[in-house]
Structures are given as C-alpha cells and as structure tokens.
Amino acid sequence: MLSKSIQDALNNQIKIEAESSQIYLAMACWAEVKGLEGVANFMYAQSDEEREHMLKLVKFVNERGGHAKISQLKAPNVTFKSFKEMFEKLFEHEVFVSQSINELVHISLQEKDYATHNFLQWYVAEQIEEEAVARTILDKINMIGDDKGGLYLFDRDIENLTVTTAATNTPE
C-alpha cells in the first residue's frame, strides 16, 4: 500500500511525464513545419516514449492500492528561435525530470518503501540515458554550427541516433 506522500509524489511524476510527452509533441510539430523531418520523427518517438513512462507510473500507482490522478497539463512552448534552442530546452527539461525522479527516490527511501524504490530504479537508469542523448545531440549541433549541409545530414541521421551509456552498457 502506498503512503499518501508517495502517492502524491508519484501522481506529480505522472503529470511531469504527461507534460514531457506534450513538450516533445510540440517540438515535433515545430520541426515538421520547418522541414526537419528527421528531427520531427525523433521527437514524435520521444513523445510516445514519455507517454509510456507516464502509463507505467499510472499502472504502478493503481496496482499498489493507490489512485493515479490525471491532471490538467501546462501548455508547452510551441515556437523556438532555432533547432539548437529547441534541443537546449529538451536537455534542460531532461535535467528537470532527473531531479524529480531523484526526489521520488529520496522520498521512497525516507519512508522505507522499497518496492517503490526498486520500481523507480528503471526511471533513474532511463534518465541517465535521456540526458546522455540530449547532451550528444547538443554536441553534434555545436559541431555543425551554421553549416546547412551539416544540418541536412544531422536531420537525416538523428532518427538512427544511438547512445550507449554506463547504465545501458552492462557486461555480458
């Protein structure tokens, strides 16, 4: 059974994950309108992934005897000065999500809710990967600078971007 404070914290994370999905959907729309098909497809996939993260939390709360709350969301930013600014916002948002997950882990340990703590470890590893992907993308964008040919190649290649992190690179 979830304590009220853990249920409230998990419900807040459900809202954050739902807003993340909306943020990436708005980014996908912006990129698509700008002709950045690869970036748009990458963002559509990110949006879907964030919704899956939200649903995983919803199911966990409900399965543990709580009640997942679906709440009103903040409208995401829908315009950006550049695709670089858009990816900077993506990185900032992933850092925010990581901080939120870390706070959830902290609460679960304070309350000795080891089932929730164990469940949240997947999110901790996922956030390491999400931040690494965002950092890698920003590094590539900084390499490109204002080169239109580089932007073209980046847009084409981003759909196939893979980043191996310490969290995902487990020895066999």
Cβ neighbours of residue 14 closer than 8 Å, sequence gap 6 or more: 54, 57, 58, 61, 68, 69, 70, 71
More confident residue, 24 or 172: 24
The answer to whether 67 and 61 are in contact (CB under 8 A) is yes
Amino acid at 143: M
Confidence band, pLDDT 50/70/90 cuts, at residue 54: very high
Q: Which domain holds residue 21?
A: 4-160
Task: Determine the average pLDDT of the residues in 13-33.
Answer: 97
Query: Is 94 among the annotated ligand-binding positions?
Result: yes
Confidence band, pLDDT 50/70/90 cuts, at residue 36: very high
Give the span between the Cα atoms of 34 and 115, in whole angstroms. Answer: 45
Task: Determine the average pLDDT of the residues in 133-150.
Answer: 88
Query: Is 67 among the annotated ligand-binding positions?
Result: no
Is 166 a member of any domain?
no
Owner of token pair 């000795």? 112
Query: Is 19 among the annotated ligand-binding positions?
Result: no
Is 169 a member of any domain?
no
Query: Is 127 among the annotated ligand-binding positions?
Result: yes
Give the span between the Cα atoms of 75 and 117, in whole angstroms. Answer: 30
Q: How many domains does the chain have?
A: 1
Query: Is 49 among the annotated ligand-binding positions?
Result: no
Domain containing residue 65: CATH number? 1.20.1260.10
27 pLDDT exceeds 80?
Answer: yes
Amino acid at 90: L
